[in-house]
Amino acid sequence: MRFAVLLHEEFHIGSNFHGEGCDLLRENGQVDIVAIRRGEEAAAFEQFLAALKEADAAVIGCWHRPAMQPEHWPQAENLKVFAGTFDNRFAGWIDFDLLDRCGITLIDTSRSMTPSVAEFALAMTLNLIRDIPESMYLLREGGWQTHPFDSWEKPGFVYGDLTGRRVGLAGLGSINRRYAELIAPFRCDVRVYDPFVSDDVFSQYAVKRANSLTELAQTSEIFVVGLPPMPTTLEVINREVIYSLPKGSLFVLVTRMAVVEQQPLWERIEAGEIAAAIDVFEPEPPPKDAWFRRHPNVLATPHIAGGTDFCHRRCLTDACKDAIAVLNGETPRFPATRRDALLYEGELKPVD
């Protein structure tokens, strides 16, 4: 087996995202690494195309999409698999029919990091419902609860146990599917709005279907946004949805702020009507003096639900594993699909 690997020198190699995966590739064949250096991107791409002509498999460093053109694919006569982490963004770049004719399997390991994002969403849910960070700050500043038997409460807000709560999931993609699995032991009443997911999948994850985002918000004590930004989801968590959340409810956002209409979200937080855990912002980073950085009803984190070294490393390693699997005639874990392409282009039709 021969592998052509395209990596950014600073991002992938400098952070050693590639080490584990490339070791696996070397155990299975010859590895030709092409490094993209700042200011030499065009030369690196030409070198990669040359390597591709002899390669059985290509692995691309996570979140990089080389400028492949239709004529490049047939020129890679031995190529069987093209693997990377492409965020399901294929419009104007990947022609699935052309790849099928060339016998090339496309791998996208974007969902390799979503379990970590779901775990982070659960962690922030628990932080919100018990206001754990505030108690930590109190202790760091030399304080203590005012009475040994006082409960640490936040009057007017959903507080205490997660068990048995009404949880609303906006979207039932890979993040919220894993979130639903994680909270199953808490025996919550979980409802979901996602018009693109079948009833069979709802049954598989033991969740109930809501008829609209507004209805979902109205019935939620905890509202978790797991929607990626697509033409159909931009600001879909709009003013009507946000103002449908009950007073005292908790709002968790770990995907992208682009799916939320920001002004009504900030209005309700400033009014003391909801509390939120937010890991993503627009713009990023937010201004240093942004009021929500220090607001007691906001748990703000700097886009770390999935944007961590171990997640990037896993994405690249999984791309290598799937490339090897395809060459061995095995089923890969993360094949890119036409459904994903249509979904992310905003062209997928809702289920009947």
* pLDDT digits 0-9 by tens, 334-351: 999 999 999 999 999 999
Flag whether pLDDT at 101 surpasses 60.
yes
Q: What burial letters (b/e) apply to 66-96, b meaning 16+ CB within 10 Å?
A: bebeeebbeebeebbbbbbbbebbbeeebee
Read off the pLDDT band of 148 (50, 70, 90): low
What's the confidence (pLDDT) of residue 138?
86
pLDDT at 150 over 60: no
Instruction: Report cis status (omega within 30 of 0) of the bond before 302.
Output: no
Which pLDDT belongs to residue 170?
98
Domains, the chain:
2-110+309-344 (3.40.50.720), 114-300 (3.40.50.720)
pLDDT for 68 equals 96
156 has a pLDDT exceeding 80:
yes
Residue 114: predicted pLDDT? 93
pLDDT at 202 over 70: yes
**Do the Cβ atoms of 341 and 88 come closer than 8 Å?**
yes
Q: What is the pLDDT of residues 110-147, one digit of tens each?
A: 999 999 999 999 999 999 999 999 889 888 999 888 76
Structure tokens at 275: 């509390």
At 151, the pLDDT band (50, 70, 90 cuts) reads low
Do 288 and 166 contact (CB within 8 A), yes or no?
no
For the residues 198-218, what does the mean pLDDT come to? 98
Report the predicted TM-score, pTM, of the whole model to 2 decimal places: 0.94
Q: Which of 154-163, 209-218, 290-299 has the lowest mean pLDDT?
A: 154-163
